[in-house]
Amino acid sequence: MKNTISRLALPLSKINKTHLQIAFMILTLALLVLGAGAPEIVGGIGT
């Protein structure tokens, strides 16, 4: 159990604020592109 916790702690300690900001920026841009390319719903059923 102690080895498992120590193995998880090492990669988590390498994550810093810059990495989180870059990941958030990429996620935001991806969602923006998906939203901009979404088709607009025009009309109703049978039109």
- Domain carrying residue 11: 2-34
Domain assignment of residue 20, yes or no: yes
State residue 47's pLDDT score. Answer: 54
Domain assignment of residue 45, yes or no: no
Q: HEC states along the chain? A: CHHHHHHHHHHHHCCCHHHHHHHHHHHHHHHHHHHHCCCCCCCCCCC
Domain assignment of residue 15, yes or no: yes
- The string of pLDDT tens digits covering residues 1-47 is 667 777 766 666 677 888 889 999 999 999 998 888 767 766 656 55
User: How many domains are contained in the chain?
Assistant: 1
